């Protein structure tokens, strides 16, 4: 059971980081990840929450499903994915 917990914890973080390599998600910045799960026979799929900074008004409608597929691949387990966004507006003074 501990191995499954470690595998899921590492997989969801790695998936959140690797998804940023996809050109569609270039403007996102990973803030935090968390996973909650109970690993017993018949238990519900783990709940994964990932928080990203995003530009104001940007939309990423398939991000949660893309993350779920990315996590499922190395773990062979279904997961529930919740994506939260923190809108960020920046002004960088070029110097």
Instruction: Give the pLDDT confidence of 3-37 residue by residue, as tens digits.
Output: 455 556 677 778 888 888 888 999 999 998 888 87
Enter the pTM of the model.
0.80
Number of structural domains in the chain: 1
Q: How do 29-36 and 47-55 pair as beta strands?
A: antiparallel
Helix (H/G/I), strand (E/B), else coil: 70? helix
Q: How far apart are CA 67 and CA 19, in angstroms?
A: 7
The range of the structural domain enclosing residue 59 comes to 2-88
For the chain, give the number of residues.
95
- The domain that contains 56 carries what CATH number? 3.30.300
pLDDT tens-digit map of 59-90: 999 999 999 998 888 778 888 999 999 999 98
Nearest C-alpha neighbor of 88 from the set 63, 53, 59, 52: 53
């Amino acid at each position: 059971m501990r191995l499954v917990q470690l595998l899921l914890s590492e997989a969801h973080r790695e998936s959140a980081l690797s998804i940023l390599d996809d050109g569609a998600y270039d403007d996102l910045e990973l803030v935090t990840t968390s996973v909650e799960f109970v690993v017993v026979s018949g238990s519900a799929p783990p709940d994964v929450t990932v928080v990203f900074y995003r530009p104001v008004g940007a939309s990423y409608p398939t991000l949660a499903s893309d993350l779920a597929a990315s996590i499922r691949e190395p773990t062979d387990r279904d997961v529930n994915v919740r994506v939260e966004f923190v809108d960020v507006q920046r002004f960088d003074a070029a110097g």
